[in-house]
């Protein structure tokens, strides 16, 4: 092959390498890996609209967010060949049948929890948590955290001797004192299936674990362990049905006006003698009116116009000081939101930066005071909040030397000063493939450098002016 | 180390290598116009570009060093932006390093061959492009994105992810490099008259 042709071939190689590098940039590493609890959502960002108002007694929240399919279905028991089989639950990523409820949650604080105002929910997360790739062993968790706690869930840094280690739980008396000093986060927890149908929101808190408020929850498990069948079924006189139709459920065909849920006012004890047919489906949750501190938030969520329209109402002061953050006229608070949509549970949610909430005060979200029983929502403006997928980034990483901004964290610089929501969403995805990406990045760098060196060597050889036999002058050759 | 020291070093690199790029482009233009090697502008552009590249190359190495001193290595390797910055900086050094090597080996005669001159311009422009990219990412790291990354994004590369290629393509790139080398060596070996020259040289 002559030198000009070889030179042309090298030029083609250069163009090919440059073109393919652009086309296949960032390809080949980021993909779902269910064995490592990794499922990357299609959308890394979403928006949440919020309005807040209050009167002398209550605070009212109004939310709207978009979703392709509103999921107000949860888990169900389906009759199959004389057995009741459970469908639904919390898998890695989206529930494949769509049987997982949408949720809207927010953490609320009155300034008692250090770093929450700057880092929001990130302070409640560490490595080893539920559904992380390095999820802690259930037996170890139960041994350290106690019975009924076989997963590492949200907790606050100062409930541990080492904030980066979920194992280092502080002494009981110290925990009690912290809680009495208001060191906890109020967790408002709206559930599209497990409370919304009966007009309630769940109410929890984050302290040394994610805890229920005192009282009773708005749902129970509808299952009789001994008989291995549902404990309750639909009251046919009230609902016109003994059970739902599994085929319609699979098509998510029930609308909100129908009985897609089971609550105590439309339920009767399960009748094993009924002529059950394959495909009969009964909700695995029985909705009950919550009591005590857990039953203080009224809710109404309506799926419409391609999303959810949700209203919450709670007393400004619930009287439950160990469970709820009390609110007052002219008060300033910190709040961080999260949304589960697309039939996802656990960590597959979208979260916000921490924001300020001011009651008749200038803040990120300003709650407007009004007279009367209900706010005039149309007169209030929406505040739009950007939410992002947070991946597996935990507080242990944020405060470590591995995080370039850890000194800013120590100085309590607000997260928004160092990152945008979009940046954190990208960082979240990378966090799930940290080692793989680093290895591939090194490989890519080495391949490119070799190509530059090799191509230069080739061009140098191909452009060397032909040497003539002794006695003839050389043309511009010094090597 | 204070970030300002790194910024100063980077500014010097940018300025010096910008001058080098202009000089190389001017010299390439003259080479393509078959201007004589002793043309005053050709000599100035060659020497100016060579000197500026040598200084810029050393400054670029210093900038990489000062950059690494700013943050712990683990922190650097956990940041997509920082990893991209390292990659572009290494490529900057590779491109300019190759230009320096060729100029050092060939001397001013490198401009006598139009293909070599064009390749030298390609090295310079590539080096300058990756220098711009490196500085732009640095601005992004400091919270002041320049907008230059939008140009890169327009080509389909998401700059907020660590840049990497799939394994098969990395292997293909290494293979392409090896193939280019083979083409160069084979074509050079088969060049008529080479054997006689080599023999003459050996005798001498």
Q: Do B90 and A458 touch (CB under 8 A)?
A: no
Q: What is the average pLDDT across A85-92?
A: 94
Write the CB contacts of A14 (distance below 8 Å, at least 6 apart in sequence).
A455, B122
Chain segment A275-316, per-residue pLDDT in tens: 999 999 999 999 999 999 999 999 999 999 999 999 999 999
Q: Do B167 and A440 touch (CB under 8 A)?
A: yes
Whole-number Å distance between alpha carbons of A454 and B174: 9
CB B53, CB B96: distance < 8 Å:
yes
CB B137, CB B84: distance < 8 Å:
yes
Cβ-Cβ contacts under 8 Å, B101 against chain A: 456
**How far from A33 is each of A29, A37, A198, B17, CA to CA, in Å?**
10, 6, 37, 45
Mean pLDDT of chain A: 94
Cβ-Cβ contacts under 8 Å, B77 against chain A: 438
Q: Is A413 on the interface with B (CB under 8 A)?
A: no
Strands (E) across A4-161 are located at 45-54, 58-66, 76-80, 83-87, 103-109
**How far from B78 is each of A94, A398, A410, CA to CA, in Å?**
28, 11, 18
pLDDT value of residue A473:
44
Q: Is A450 on the interface with B (CB under 8 A)?
A: yes
**DSSP 8-state secondary structure symbol assigned to residue A191:** E
Q: Do B164 and A464 touch (CB under 8 A)?
A: no
Q: Give the burial class of A109: count Cβ atoms within 10 A of its Cβ; 0-12 exposed, 13-18 middle, 19 or more buried.
A: buried
- Which structure tokens are listed for A297? 């938030």
Q: Do B115 and A459 touch (CB under 8 A)?
A: yes
Q: Do B90 and A445 touch (CB under 8 A)?
A: yes
Q: Do A16 and B91 touch (CB under 8 A)?
A: no
**DSSP 8-state secondary structure symbol assigned to residue A183:** -
Q: Is B177 on the interface with A (CB under 8 A)?
A: yes
- Per-residue confidence at A471, pLDDT binned at 50, 70, 90? very low
Whole-number Å distance between alpha carbons of A392 and A448: 31
C-alpha angle A260/A263/A265, rounded to 5°? 125
Chain segment A19-69, per-residue pLDDT in tens: 999 999 999 999 999 999 999 999 999 999 999 999 999 999 999 999 999
* Bridge partner list, A219: A287
Q: Do A476 and B80 touch (CB under 8 A)?
A: no
CB A120, CB A354: distance < 8 Å:
yes
Whole-number Å distance between alpha carbons of A319 and A316: 9
- Which structure tokens are listed for A85? 């089989």
> What values do phi and psi take at A291, rounded to 5?
-130, 160
Cβ-Cβ contacts under 8 Å, A429 against chain B: 161
* Bridge partner list, A248: none
Q: In what order do the strands lie in the sheet with A285-287?
A: A219-221, A285-287, A262-263
Check whether A256 has a pLDDT greater than 90.
yes
Whole-number Å distance between alpha carbons of A116 and A122: 8
**DSSP 8-state secondary structure symbol assigned to residue A60:** E
**DSSP 8-state secondary structure symbol assigned to residue A317:** -
Cα-based torsion angle of the residue sequence A285, A290, A293, A299 in order, rounded to the nearest 10 degrees: 90
Write the CB contacts of A131 (distance below 8 Å, at least 6 apart in sequence).
A37, A90, A92, A346, A347
**How far from A117 is each of A328, B38, B115, B144, CA to CA, in Å?**
18, 69, 61, 24
Q: Which residue of A has its CA nearest to B112?
A: A476
User: Nearest-CA neighbor of B133 among B148, B123, B154, B122?
Assistant: B148
Whole-number Å distance between alpha carbons of A450 and B178: 9
Cβ-Cβ contacts under 8 Å, A447 against chain B: 165, 170-171, 173-174, 177
Q: Is A25 on the interface with B (CB under 8 A)?
A: yes
Nearest to A10 among B80, B82, B183 (CB): B183
Cβ-Cβ contacts under 8 Å, A14 against chain B: 122
Nearest to A454 among B105, B178, B191 (CB): B178
Ranges of chain B with pLDDT below 50: 196-204
Q: Give the burial class of A97: count Cβ atoms within 10 A of its Cβ; 0-12 exposed, 13-18 middle, 19 or more buried.
A: middle
Q: What is the average pLDDT across A118-135?
A: 97
CB B120, CB B32: distance < 8 Å:
no
Chain segment A327-352, per-residue pLDDT in tens: 999 999 999 999 999 999 999 999 99
Cβ-Cβ contacts under 8 Å, A2 against chain B: 187
> What values do phi and psi take at A474, rounded to 5?
-90, 150
C-alpha angle A93/A96/A99, rounded to 5°? 95
Chain segment A203-246, per-residue pLDDT in tens: 999 999 999 999 999 999 999 999 999 999 999 999 999 999 99
Q: Is B68 on the interface with A (CB under 8 A)?
A: no
**How far from B82 is each of A132, A359, B13, CA to CA, in Å?**
25, 41, 18
Q: Is B175 on the interface with A (CB under 8 A)?
A: no
- Per-residue confidence at A171, pLDDT binned at 50, 70, 90? very high
- Which structure tokens are listed for B190? 């088969």
Element (H, E) at B18: helix B3-32
Segment 73-112 of chain B within 8 Å of chain A by CB: 74-80, 82-83, 86-87, 90-91, 94-95, 98, 101-102, 105-107, 109-110, 112
Pairing of strands A365-369, A355-359: parallel
pLDDT value of residue B198:
42
Chain segment A364-407, per-residue pLDDT in tens: 999 999 999 999 999 999 999 999 999 999 999 999 988 988 99
Q: Do A1 and B76 touch (CB under 8 A)?
A: no
């Amino acid at each position: 092959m002559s030198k000009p042709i070889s030179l042309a071939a090298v030029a083609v190689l250069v163009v090919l390498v440059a073109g393919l590098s652009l086309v296949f940039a960032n390809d080949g590493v980021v993909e779902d890996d269910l064995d490592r609890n990794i499922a990357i959502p299609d959308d890394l960002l979403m928006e949440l609209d919020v309005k807040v108002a209050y009167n002398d007694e209550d605070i009212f929240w109004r939310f709207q967010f978009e979703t392709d399919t509103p999921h107000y279905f949860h888990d169900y028991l389906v009759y199959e060949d004389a057995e009741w089989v459970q469908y639904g639950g919390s898998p890695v990523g989206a529930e494949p049948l769509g049987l997982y409820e949408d949720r809207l949650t927010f953490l609320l604080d009155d300034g008692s929890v250090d770093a929450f105002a700057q880092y929001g929910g990130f302070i409640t997360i560490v490595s080893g948590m539920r559904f992380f790739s390095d999820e802690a062993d259930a037996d170890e968790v139960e041994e350290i955290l106690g019975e009924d706690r076989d997963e590492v869930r949200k907790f606050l840094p100062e409930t541990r001797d080492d904030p980066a280690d979920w194992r280092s739980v502080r002494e009981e008396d110290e925990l009690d004192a912290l809680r009495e000093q208001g060191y906890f986060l109020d967790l408002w927890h709206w559930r599209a299936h497990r409370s919304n149908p009966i007009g309630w929101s769940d109410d929890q808190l984050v302290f040394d674990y994610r805890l229920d408020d005192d009282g009773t929850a708005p749902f129970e498990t509808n299952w009789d362990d001994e008989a291995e069948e549902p404990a309750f079924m639909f009251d046919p006189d009230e609902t016109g049905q003994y059970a739902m139709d599994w085929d319609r459920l699979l098509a998510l065909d029930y609308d909100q006006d129908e009985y897609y849920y089971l609550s105590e006012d439309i339920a009767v004890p399960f009748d094993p003698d009924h002529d059950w047919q394959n495909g009969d489906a009964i909700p695995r949750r029985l909705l009950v009116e919550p009591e005590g501190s857990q039953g203080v938030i009224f809710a109404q969520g309506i799926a419409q116009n391609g999303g959810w329209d949700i209203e919450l109402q709670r007393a400004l002061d619930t009287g439950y000081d160990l469970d709820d953050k009390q609110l007052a006229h002219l008060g300033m608070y910190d709040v961080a939101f999260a949304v589960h949509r697309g039939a996802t549970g656990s960590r597959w949610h979208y979260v916000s930066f921490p924001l300020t909430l001011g009651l008749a005060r200038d803040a990120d979200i300003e709650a407007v005071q009004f007279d009367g029983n209900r706010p005039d929502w149309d007169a209030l403006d929406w505040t739009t909040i950007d939410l992002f997928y947070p991946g597996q980034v935990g507080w242990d990483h944020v405060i470590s030397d591995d995080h370039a901004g850890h000194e800013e964290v120590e100085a309590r610089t607000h997260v928004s000063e160092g990152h945008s929501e979009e940046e954190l969403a990208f960082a979240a995805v990378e966090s799930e493939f940290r080692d793989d990406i680093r290895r591939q990045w090194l490989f890519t760098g080495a391949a490119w450098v070799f190509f530059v060196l090799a191509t230069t060597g080739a061009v140098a050889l191909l452009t060397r002016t032909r040497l003539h036999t002794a006695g003839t002058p050389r043309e511009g050759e010094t090597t | 180390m204070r970030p300002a020291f790194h910024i100063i070093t980077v500014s010097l690199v940018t300025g010096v290598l910008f001058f080098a790029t202009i000089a190389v482009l001017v010299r390439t233009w003259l080479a393509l116009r078959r201007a004589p090697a002793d043309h005053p502008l050709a000599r100035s552009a060659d020497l100016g570009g060579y000197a500026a590249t040598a200084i810029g190359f050393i400054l670029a190495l210093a900038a990489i060093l000062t950059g690494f001193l700013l943050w712990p290595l683990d922190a650097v390797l956990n940041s997509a932006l920082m990893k991209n910055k390292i990659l572009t900086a290494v490529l900057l050094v590779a491109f300019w390093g190759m230009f320096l090597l060729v100029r050092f080996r060939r001397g001013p005669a490198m401009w006598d061959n139009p293909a070599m001159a064009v390749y030298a311009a390609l090295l310079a422009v590539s080096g300058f492009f990756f220098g711009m990219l490196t500085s732009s990412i640095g601005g992004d790291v400091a919270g002041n994105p320049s907008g230059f990354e939008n140009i890169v994004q327009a080509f389909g590369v998401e700059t907020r992810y660590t840049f990497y290629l799939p394994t098969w393509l990395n292997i293909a790139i290494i293979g392409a490099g090896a193939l280019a080398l083979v083409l160069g060596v084979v074509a050079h070996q088969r060049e008529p008259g080479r054997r006689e020259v080599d023999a003459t040289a050996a005798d001498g």
